[in-house]
Chains A and B, each alone.
Chain A
Amino acid sequence: MGWEQAEVRGYPEFVRAAQRYRGRPIFALFCGDKDAEGRSWCPDCVTAEPVVRKELHNLPDESVFIYCLVGDRAYWKDPNNEFRRNLKLTGVPTLLKYGTPQKLVEEECFKAELVRMLFTED
């Protein structure tokens, strides 16, 4: 069974998705919200997303990829937002392997090699 994808928006939806897939390796990409034209307020997210998507075929079997929009810019800038507080995110984009200290932050997400390493190695 290959890998599965889910798209969520906001912290509560993310938590529900993570719960639903508990027991399977979960990879999550956190990006800023997109406007009506599909463009994110976060320029680094715009750069990172295609790089990450291109590496998805390297995901291990049984794993889940959660694409999560965190909220608008104002929400993200709040130092107490739930993503910062509970998931300890420090920036967007963040690509992480849920439940492990393995993550890539901001410009690290632009590098296909690093994304591939996160997806394929333990």
Chain B
Amino acid sequence: SVQAHKEDKPQKVMEVNGLTPVPHSYDYDLIVIGGGSGGLAAAKEAAKYEKKVMVVDFVVPTPLGSSWGLGGTCVNVGCIPKKLMHQAALLGQALQDSRKFGWQFTEEVKHNWMTMTESVQNYIGSLNWGYRVALRDKKVTYENAYGEFVGPHTIKTTNKRGVEKLYTAERFLIATGERPRYPGIPGDKEYCISSDDLFSLPYCPGKTLVVGASYVALECAGFLAGLGLDVTVMVRSILLRGFDQDMANKIGEYMEEHGVNFIREFVPIKVEQIEEGTPGRLKVTAKSTTGNQIIEGEYNTVLLAIGRDPCTRKIGLDKVGVNINEKTGKIPVNDEEQTNVPYIYAVGDILQDKLELTPVAIQAGRLLVRRLYAGSTTKCDYVNVPTTVFTPLEYGACGYSEETAVEKFGEENIEVYHSHFWPLEWTVPSRDNNKCYAKIICNIQDNERVIGFHVLGPNAGEVTQGFAAAVKCGMTKEQLDSTVGIHPVCAEV
């Protein structure tokens, strides 16, 4: 069928003076701005209910010119390439371990960045294409264009050739996600890369300085070091803010003992280019956060991972009156993902006070659409959402960190059970015997219900998923104890 779009003002009849409203003839039932995890899940769900849906997705190229296809951050420059590169690093470790298990090879094993990157990008390309096919197949209109509000119920889209079009819809879903933050120091945009550039970098990054202590910074530093590169992490204050600090410090220690350099309590103030090249040579000047000390260092690549900012400031929200948190750019919503403007909703990383995770965005998007078009009343449950950080020693968690539990329930009302463990697979190759660690936090006043689950060790994500379901069901310590372990696996601890 041919989609007719109006170039001029949308034809709609307005309600006047509270008289019986006449049906508005909008172009679409729902327009989704942003084709990432949340946006696509919502669009595909709405199409199931035979709604007329459009997805508008556009990637503003990075300062260095990187761009990507449909699918959002997770698919293109987040979870997917990250996990694949983490796996590449783990395989490198496995190759080393394999000699102790009897595998014999005389050649030295080296890593080829281009081979890995091409394979990863090829896979991502197939995902981008898969989304295009899925949308077209479900009759969801897709425009590769930048969408912004220009008036009530109306957006303007601008494609990469500058062609503008106007569209109207009964409802809108903002799912524009975030982009990496730049520190605003000389040389940041000209010479530094971010995670947006890293996964498609057409040359090996070489000796790398990672600025930041977020999970993005640590995961990237982790796999780069695992691939054999010289990696330094520059941390302003603490690691993994918001995560259980006991676990965060163990992660940092492990990384330090395994070849990642850390420069603590410093921030970069200037990046200069010594030599052009792929990679080139950069000089970084940094200042201490606790005094006046200045240091300098030379690196091939500087990767900035100091945080991400929501893409909400240039999409015309002021034209339709959607409130945003002026300081952070995040959008506050009620427990039904509705903004202060009743016909405009939001999901994903841009939401204020919600977890920035793909499965959360997908769940929220789907449930929202079911409430809108299928009469459901189920709201998204943001409590007890499991997460995993894919640092060299993986960390899985669900529920409260120790600090938050103490703050909420009081130290005397919680009990922490913990244990180090030595994965059987690590024994033969003589890998660390006291680094893997598991702890659970229980609420004494509530039957010792497990309110926090933390595990540090291989396959932490796989281990955590099942326990998350148990925590959601309200498992108590006694129930956990009475569950017979599987042997020999890490999870039995």
Contact = CB atoms under 8 A, between A and B. Distances in A.
B337 to A, nearest CB: 31
**Residue from A101, A102, A104 whose CB has the most chain B CB atoms within 10 Å:** A101
Interface string B129-166: 10011001100000000000000000000000000000
Nearest to A121: B132
Contacts of B128: 101
B137 A114 contact: yes
A104 B129 CA distance: 10
B125 A100 contact: yes
Contact of B136 (A100, A102, A113): A113
A117 B136 contact: yes
A25 to B, nearest CB: 15
B126 interface: yes
B70 to A, nearest CB: 11
Interface in B108-134: 122-123, 125-126, 128-129, 132-133
Contacts of B126: 101
Interface in A94-115: 100-104, 108, 111, 113-114
Interface string B300-337: 00000000000000000000000000000000000000
A104 B132 CA distance: 11
B125 A104 contact: no
A121 B136 CA distance: 12
Contacts of B122: 101
Nearest to A103: B129
- Where chain B touches its partner, the secondary structure class is helix
Nearest to B129: A102
A114 B132 CA distance: 9
Interface residues of B, number: 10
A40 B262 CA distance: 64
Contacts of A103: 129
B363 to A, nearest CB: 28
A117 B125 contact: no
Contacts of A121: 132
Contacts of A113: 136-137
A114 B138 CA distance: 11
Interface residues of A, number: 11
A66 to B, nearest CB: 19
A51 to B, nearest CB: 14
A58 to B, nearest CB: 14
A52 B56 CA distance: 28
Contact of A111 (B123, B132, B137): B137
B129 A108 contact: no
B160 to A, nearest CB: 11
Contacts of B129: 100-103
Which has the most chain A C-beta neighbours within 10 Å: B125, B128, B129?
B129
Nearest to B1: A113
A101 B125 contact: yes
Contacts of B137: 108, 111, 113-114
Contacts of B123: 101
Contacts of A100: 125, 129
B135 to A, nearest CB: 10
A111 B134 CA distance: 12
A103 B122 CA distance: 13
Interface in A46-95: none
A101 B122 CA distance: 7
A108 B132 contact: no
A111 B126 CA distance: 19
Contacts of B136: 113-114, 117
A69 B129 CA distance: 25
A108 B133 contact: yes
Q: Which of B122, B123, B133 has the most CB of A within 10 A?
A: B133
B141 to A, nearest CB: 11
A5 B152 CA distance: 50
B120 to A, nearest CB: 12
B432 to A, nearest CB: 39
A117 B136 CA distance: 8
A32 B461 CA distance: 44
A117 B133 CA distance: 8
Nearest to A116: B136
A111 B132 CA distance: 14
A114 B125 contact: no
A111 B128 CA distance: 19
The 5 closest A-B pairs by CB, nearest first: A101-B126, A101-B125, A102-B129, A117-B136, A101-B129
Given A104-B133, A113-B136, A117-B133, 16 more contacts: A100-B125, A100-B129, A101-B126, A101-B128, A101-B129, A102-B125, A103-B129, A108-B133, A108-B137, A111-B137, A113-B137, A114-B133, A114-B136, A114-B137, A117-B136, A121-B132
Interface of A: 100-104, 108, 111, 113-114, 117, 121
15 contacts: A100-B125, A101-B123, A101-B126, A101-B128, A101-B129, A102-B129, A103-B129, A111-B137, A113-B136, A113-B137, A114-B136, A117-B132, A117-B133, A117-B136, A121-B132
